[in-house]
Amino acid sequence: MAQAHLKRFFLSRFPCVLMATTGEAAHRNEWSGLSPEQLFNKYSGGPTGLASSVIAEKQAKHGRNELEKEQRENICKVFAMQFMSPVVGLLLLACVASFALQEFAEGCVILFIVTINACLATHQEMSAGDAVAKLAAMTAPKCKVYRDGSVKEVEATELVPGDVIELATGDGVPADCRLIECMEILANEALLTGESEEVRKVLVVEDLDEPFSKNMCFMSTSVTNGRGKAIITSTGMSTQVGQIAFQLKNAKKKGNRLTPLQMALNRLGGIIGAIAVVVLIGIVIVALVMGYEDPDEPGVNRVQVIVTVAVGFAVSAVPEGLPMVVTICLALGCRDMVDRQALMVSLPAVETLGSCSVICSDKTGTLTEGKMTGIRLFTFMRAGDSSIQDLHFYPTKGFNPNGGLFKTKELTLEAKTSMEGIFEGSRETFGSGTHFPAYGEVSVNHGDPTEKSCDSVSARAFMTACFLNSHTTSLNYVDGNTGSDCWKPKGNMSEAAIIVAAAKMQINMPINKPVVDVRALYSMVEELEVPFSSARKMQITVHMCETPGCFECLVFGPGCEKHTAFAVIKGAPDRILPLMPYAARKVGTTVQIDTNEQRTATEENNITSCNDSLAEQALRVLGAGILTLDEGDLKILRSIDKAEDRQAWFAEQKRACFLGLIGNQDPPRPGVAGAIQTCRNAGIRVVMITGDQKATAVAIAKQINLLKDGEEVDDKVLVCSEMRDAQNNMKPDNILDELCSRVNVFSRAQPEDKIAIVHTMQRNGFVCGMTGDGVNDAPALKAADIGIAMGIAGTDVAKGAADMILLDDNFVTIVVAVEEGRKIYANIQKFVSFLLGTNIGEIVYLSISILASLPVPLKALQIIFLNLMSDGCPAVAISKEPADPGIMSVKPRLKKSNIMTPHWWLYGNFPHVFFESLAVLVALVLALYLNLGAITLDQIDDLCTSLKNSDGSAPIPTSCVCYNYQYEKGDWQTQVDWYEEGSSCQFGSVKAESVLYDGWIEKEDAWTLWAVTHADVLTNAGCVGDCQSAHPDSGWTQYQSTLSDKWTTAVTDGGWGCGESLYDMFSETNHDTEFAHDYCKTKNTKIARTQTFITAVYCEMMRAYTVRCAPGDGTDPPWMWEVFMRNWWMHVACSISFWLTIFISLVPGVRDLFQLSPPPFYGYLIAIAFSVANAFFDEFVPKPFYKWVVLRRQTTSSKIGPPGV
């Protein structure tokens, strides 16, 4: 039953929305046409309310009167989901392996990185705006309800259908309800309808199919005037606002889709992870087959060494800093957008803006200023051959009343320029004084009260009548503000244009205190008013004359000289003209109502032409006239209770005098036309959605350059009713797709039409931005790829459903934000390329080093430092890069396009990876040769000979020799470090000796010189007979063999008088063993690796400069020196990386943590030289090819969408 009831309600309340999904026809509102007695019978109640005995049963049936809260994902589940990606899994495996090998530093750092990234992603996902919660917060907390015959105050959540409640001024409506008593109730339903005008409520309505019936009040709206009683018809999710909440929840479920950037990064991460796993497995297999050993870790289990290498590969394959840098980049983009009047609600939306390919915008307040302004005035007065007076208000600056009224033909360009100068000259002082600027010096100002011409009199009578009729609206001067912000209309915004236009004629001008208040002069008889309604499209007010037979120098006609009152009738021309057959006539120097002759057919045609002319200029037209009244008329009107009956009486009179027409315009915002052209150049389609009639929509579209002259209007403009079939159901998707593919202006649109437009655009492959401000716009905002809410006019619910909030409600800001989004995406591309260069380069040179039997250039912790600390600062600095000049001249990228396009790979990433890998590997080879005199693992291993214990365990070094090419004593020299190990009890501990030689020498020569200077050692070693008598060129091999034999004997039988084996001695002390390893292999390998590490860091640092202008995004890239100084953050970031690298390579403790050892000073110079060479080749090899080959061949497609590269 509840589901059936809910379905019936949805069909009756939101037919257009539900028809899009259910295909069923709309049903009429089932409560509006019922009498109070029928409602009481339906809900088993009465005027005194429900009985307490049925409350529990109804609550069980209908549920609590509250909106269902959105089921948020558990934060632990969201956090755990961040570890599900293949890339993060690879890092976790590396972390586990590090802990298993007791490499706690690497393991802790990897775990920290993964955890931080997961925390950032979780925070981002959990901090999304909850629009449904904002809807629930808007409902009334308590209300007065009749229960058991008495009034009680209960929580609004306890209401059930059938309850009778009281409503009074200031109350929030707790649920949807049907009025059964109504005493001048006005309700603000802008949250639902988007219309700011208050709705006058009645007990009986004519249109039973109206979705927002005027004999009903709706949940979350408010009563602004009057009091009454109502019976609850729907509660909770069955209410109008509940349906919006229902749509929001559905939109959110559908909206949990990834942004284009997230999809692109996930694809990229998956590809990199897959390639890395394949390469990792292959390299591990190769390392096992080759028996890889790290000279930096002698004696360590070979499998453990290979697993350590695998950890390094895993770390190098993942850009650990990428999620963090992307988040920082988006956050910085959010901050920059606030400065440009755009507030981003969610971080991913910043980038999504850059891929926006269609912007669906409201007209009022976004494309236009949202300030209805009186532009043109036609007065009707018979004066010789002429009956129409064409007048123009100028200047028109929103709500600023600084201006006047001039004949249109006299308002030349020269006159306008002069008036603009007067306006600007009085901008600061106008409002603080009592005098208007002297516009009359340029042209006759018919708005000047001192001007007494007949044209001025008729115009003043018309505007005063309109002003009196618009009695709920006033113009206020806010002292302390500047410019147009000083002037604030209060009341009905649709009448603000009338009030401002009257002020330009100095009618009740707020700053002119001495001027008589015309509302006091012509007092209104409030009880005789016929309020405006959308059905009658007119408003009638009755006023008393100051002087009988006269109104503002307009003399009443013959027979009406003693009339003491008059009625002002204002409204749509087609509705009021039948009531006004008479006109004013110029009689000498006066103007009087001519009741002797009705309008002729020619005069009717003239008025119709004026009306059409105003409509074609996108002006909203209002007409006005007056009906003189005597005491008998007033007595009759006072006897009529209902406004509808009073209106009928006025219609029957048919003796009113028509005064004229005024055309009001919501002027286009400055810069909108240029912004639309910018969108057109950028391949972004702009669609205008408005509730205006087609002619008005076309006129505005032409003014803002959305429709060009000569374009076929019928092909580009659509009345939204054409989107539905005869049964009022939405047409099939294929038809809607065809319509929306060509239409750029949708007129007579309802909020539910926006949802259909969004879905159609998305089906056609567009990334859709949608604007909105009301509660009823929230579902469309949620469904769009980018929901854009108005910051000034928007409701909290609309803002909660949006991805971006315009702080100035200006369309130009959207275009500026799109440009900012493109800049952010371009910068993301740049630092993704920058970080990928590091990771792919690491994989390449680590792989080649293993295959070439070289020591790996970097250890796992060094790779982490390179990926995070060294690359992180420049990557963040890249996010501060300004937009490239041509960023709004390329078409938006496709939703499914990769973040790294083929051109980026071919001309940006691959060349850098090649040159960086080459630089690092050459740097490694050179560093090994300079510090060890050996390059490959076999050569390094041959530097030391060793003996093994009988069980084949840890080697005992017998002798090592290492070479260093160093600058000492003012010259470059080769330093040979020689080490011979022996028994301390037989001949003491022999330390390494350094002998310096000029130039490069052979091992044999080095040994010969050493042997001559150390004869005593040789004698003690028992080698006198074999070694000392040997010829100097007998060579290293002979001595090594002899000594090794004697050590073998010592180890085997524990000789040499020590009483213990040499192996046991070394196992206990390890002093001489550690010394030999550190100096001859470990230490110098570490120095060589440190020099290579510094080279890798500096190569990446220089890459940060070249990637800013790397080729690949479809535009002509500048040269590096052209943009070198445009981002000073880059210099700061690279300086931090530069000195941080030196710091960790020099400071004891820190360098030990990173397994570094400071190289000689020239090692730093070599690293800088390689990095400069890397940057040179990055800049001058791929870029010329791209400029001269790709860009010359590149053609621009006329189809909206990205170039596809």
State yes or no: pLDDT of 885 exceeds 70. Answer: yes
User: Residue 932: CA atoms inside 13 Å, Cβ hemisphere, count?
Assistant: 36
Instruction: In whole angstroms, give the CA distance from residue 574 to residue 561.
Output: 29
Determine the pLDDT at residue 317. 67
Q: Which of 441-455, 489-503, 1065-1079 has the lowest mean pLDDT?
A: 1065-1079
Q: Which two tokens stand for residue 1066?
A: 């070394």
Q: Assess contact for 70 and 132: CB atoms under 8 A.
A: yes
pLDDT category of residue 976 using cuts at 50, 70 and 90: low
Quick one: which of 427, 350, 378, 165 has its CA closest to 828?
350
CA 77 to chain centre: 26
Specify the range with the lowest mean pLDDT, choosing from 134-138, 144-148, 579-583, 944-948. 134-138
Lowest mean pLDDT among 297-311, 607-621, 734-748, 751-765: 297-311
What the chain holds in terms of domains, given with CATH numbers, is 27-256 (2.70.150.10), 284-329+820-933+1084-1198 (1.20.1110.10), 342-368+668-809 (3.40.50.1000), 373-424+438-665 (3.40.1110.10)
Amino acid 962: pLDDT: 65
pLDDT score of 984 more than 60: no
User: Where is pLDDT greater, at 114 or 475?
Assistant: 475
Quick one: pLDDT at residue 827?
Answer: 87
Please check the confidence at residue 363 and state whether its pLDDT lies above 70.
Answer: yes
CB neighbour burial string for 318-340, b if at least 16 within 10 angstroms, e if fewer: bbbbbbbbbbbbbbbbbebbeee
752 close to 14: Cβ distance less than 8 angstroms: yes
Query: Rounded to the nearest 5°, which phi and psi values hold at 878?
Result: -60, -35
Q: Cβ distance 977 to 1079 under 8 Å?
A: yes
Six token digits for residue 1133: 């970031």
Spatial contact of 333 and 816, defined as CB atoms under 8 Å apart: no
pLDDT confidence of residue 125: 61
| Measured CA distances, 105 to 73, 92, 109 (Å) | 34, 14, 6
Q: How far from chain centre, in Å, is Cα 55?
A: 47
According to the per-residue pLDDT averaged within each range, which of 248-262, 296-310, 360-374 is highest? 360-374
**Distance separating alpha carbons of residues 544 and 1066, to the nearest angstrom:** 120
Rounded to 5 degrees, φ, ψ at 375 are -110, -50
Q: From the CB of residue 555, how many other CB atoms can be counted at a distance below 10 Å?
A: 18
Mean pLDDT of 658-667: 90
* Residue 1151 parent element (H or E): helix 1150-1153
The pLDDT assigned to 974 comes to 62
pLDDT for the residue numbered 5: 37
Phi-psi region of 1201 (alpha: psi -120 to 50; beta: other; left: phi over 0): left
Average pLDDT over residues 993-1000: 35
Give how far Cα 720 sits from Cα of 247, 335, 488, 717, 725, Å.
21, 38, 34, 9, 11
Chain segment 783-828, per-residue pLDDT in tens: 888 888 888 777 667 777 788 888 888 888 888 888 888 888 888 8
Token look-up 């009345």 returns 719
What's the mean pLDDT in 123-147?
Answer: 62
Contact in structure between 202 and 216 (CB atoms under 8 Å): no
Reported as a pLDDT band with limits 50, 70 and 90, residue 499 is: very high
DSSP assignment, residue 856? -
Would you say residue 1196 has pLDDT above 50? no
The pLDDT tens digits of the residues spanning 38-54 come to: 888 888 888 888 988 88
Query: Do residues 792 and 121 make contact, with C-beta atoms less than 8 angstroms apart?
Result: no
User: How much is the pLDDT for 960?
Assistant: 61
Residue 1140's nearest CA partner among 1105, 1107, 1097 is: 1097
pLDDT score for 662: 95
DSSP tag of 323: H
Residue of higher predicted confidence among 354 and 317 = 354
Alpha helices of 643-707 — where are they, by DSSP H? 643-653, 672-681, 694-703
pLDDT at res. 230: 94
| Rounded Cα gap, residues 220 and 776, in angstroms | 12
Least confident of 64-68, 127-131, 329-333, 673-677: 127-131
pLDDT tens for each residue of 1141-1164: 999 999 988 888 888 888 888 889
Residues β-bridged to residue 376: 392, 663
Mean pLDDT of 600-623: 88
What does pLDDT average to over the chain? 77
Strands 804-806 and 944-948: unpaired
pLDDT in tens, 95-120: 787 777 677 777 787 788 778 777 87
Looking at residue 288, its pLDDT comes to: 80
For the segment 1087-1120, what is each residue's pLDDT rounded down to a tens digit? 999 999 999 999 999 999 998 888 766 667 788 8
Which pLDDT band, with edges at 50, 70 and 90, does 145 fall under? Answer: very high
The answer to whether residues 857 and 846 touch, using CB atoms and an 8 Å cutoff, is: yes
Classify 145 as helix, strand or coil.
Answer: strand
- The pLDDT, as a whole number, for residue 661 is 95
Distance, in Å, from the CA atom of 470 to the CA atom of 491, rounded to the nearest integer, reads 9
Query: Which uninterrupted H or E stretch holds 342?
Result: strand 342-344
Distance from chain centroid for Cα 499: 38
Per-residue pLDDT at 482: 54
pLDDT at position 891 is: 85
pLDDT at 484 over 70: no
Which pLDDT band holds residue 967 (cuts at 50, 70, 90)?
low
Give pLDDT, residue 809. 84
Query: Tokens 């539905």 appear where?
Result: 724
| Dihedral pair phi/psi, residue 789, rounded to 5° | -100, 155
What is the rounded distance in angstroms from the CA atom of residue 586 to the CA atom of residue 601? 20
Residue 106 has phi, psi (to 5 degrees) of -60, -45
Return d(Cα 1072, Cα 957) in angstroms, integer. Answer: 9
Residue-level pLDDT at 491: 73
> Is the pLDDT reported for residue 434 higher than 60?
no
